[in-house]
Amino acid sequence: MKGVLKILAAVIAMTPIYANSGGNPEYVNFPEGYEKAFTKYATINRANQTQVAKLYANETAIASYKENQKGDSGSVLVMEIYSTKTDADGKPVPGDDGIFVIDSLAAVAVMENRDNWDDAFSAEDRTGNWGFAVYNPDGTEKSNDLNCVQCHTPLSGQDYLFTYQKLVDFVKNH
């Protein structure tokens, strides 16, 4: 009986991780037309070393990082995630600039900063005021095994962004 209770407790403890795993598209919307309306601030190989990311920021984000190097309410960041061409060994093929050669758009991740989230959007599902969602390239919700909050939370010193320095450097130079 104790074993069953331990298993049940473990399942209950893990449930929020799976419930939140793809972000919260019911709160963080897909920004239609971001490709034209937002500023692309970087193209990088992702840390997983198997994908390329193109990074975009809306005007609110650009202005706030110029001013105080922290995303103000209304800031929206988009990461287009691309699969890459691979060689015979299955390794990504680097281009002349060191960025992997892109094959196809696989997903679009969105971070949105708001200081007035709906009370139904639990603080445990966000990092600071940043909410997350992952979409298919066509803007429909994408299932995702990763937990955005879990990975971004340790980055509080850089406004919860993996690409914080890229964004700060971009706005400083433009």
**Quick one: pLDDT at residue 2?**
55
Q: What is the pLDDT along the chain (174 residues), one digit of tens a residue?
A: 555 434 433 333 333 333 334 689 999 999 999 999 999 999 999 988 899 999 999 999 999 999 988 999 999 999 999 999 999 999 999 999 999 999 999 999 999 999 999 999 999 999 999 999 999 999 999 987 778 888 898 999 999 999 999 999 999 999
**Quick one: pLDDT at residue 69?**
85
Strands 51-57 and 130-135: unpaired
From the list 135, 112, 138, 108, the residue with the least C-alpha distance to 125 is 112
From the list 64, 67, 66, 62, the residue with the least C-alpha distance to 42 is 62
Beta strands in 5-159, from DSSP E residues, in sequence order: 39-45, 51-57, 76-84, 102-113, 130-135
**Quick one: pLDDT at residue 19?**
38
**Quick one: pLDDT at residue 29?**
95
From the list 170, 131, 161, 137, the residue with the least C-alpha distance to 27 is 131
Distance CA 118, CA 110 (A): 18
Distance CA 160, CA 48 (A): 18
Please work out, in degrees rounded to the nearest 5, the angle formed at the alpha carbon of residue 21 by the alpha carbons of 15 and 23.
130
For residue 32, the tally of other CB atoms under 10 A from its CB is 8
Distance CA 149, CA 53 (A): 19
| 86 touches 174 (CB < 8 A) | no
Take residue 31 and report the two structure tokens written for it: 């920004």
Report how far apart the first and last C-alpha atoms of the chain are (Å, whole number): 64
